[in-house]
Amino acid sequence: MPNPINRLTHLTNEWKAWNIFHVILLSPVLEEFSYRYALCSFNTTKIKISFSLILSFHISYLLYVYKFRLFCGTDLVFHILFLYGTIFFIAAILFLITSLFNKQLTRLENTWNTHPTVIFYLSAILFTIYHIYNMPITFFLSIFAGALIFGYTRIRLGFGYVIALHVLWNLLTSLRLWIS
């Protein structure tokens, strides 16, 4: 019979490796597609992708935290499948639903292009709200400042640069995962 202490150490190492991969690579890519992909000029496909991902992030995270996290227990695979499976499942459904409203979305073009500052700040606020779910409220201003920096980078330099910056940001802020 396997030693329970060895199994616990193995689980801890699995979780550490997963968290590093999740925080440093997966989250920045998905979050940038959600919160900043549609920034800049009007594009209905980018808006549908961003809108679908933003809503699915919030819905999936709330479902996970308040309903299904305990159901998954200590099985890392269940946690990954549930969290990312629900994000993509809900996003796909929302994308298909929003695709039914292409004509209505094109009516937003004038508003989108004449009020880019509103879109920019709304993106930063939604990004901050999402991160407040799993961080203390005292980090609100620093997360909002990061969202503004990411948005500015997206608009001035492009989408690839903001993903790289977000990966670097998360890498530097999560060094504690490697040290402990």
Those residues whose C-beta lies under 8 Å from the C-beta of residue 31, and which sit 6 or more positions away, are: 57, 127, 130, 166
CA–CA gap between residue 125 and residue 33 (Å, rounded): 15
- Write the Ramachandran bin of 73: left for phi over 0, alpha for psi from -120 to 50, otherwise beta: left
**What is the per-residue pLDDT for 103?**
86
CA-based torsion, 68, 138, 143, 123: positive or negative:
positive
Instruction: Name the residue with tokens 């060895």.
Output: 6
Give pTM, 2 decimals.
0.83
Which tokens hold the place of 66?
């308040």
Is the pLDDT higher at 139 or at 145?
A: 145
Closest CA to 22 of 84, 71, 91, 67: 84
Given a cut of 70, whether residue 137 has pLDDT beyond it is: yes
Read off the pLDDT of residues 115-128 as tens digits, 9 standing for 90 and up.
999 999 999 999 99
Domain extent listing, the chain: 4-179
**What is the per-residue pLDDT for 66?**
72
Read off the pLDDT of residues 57-74 as tens digits, 9 standing for 90 and up.
889 888 877 777 677 666
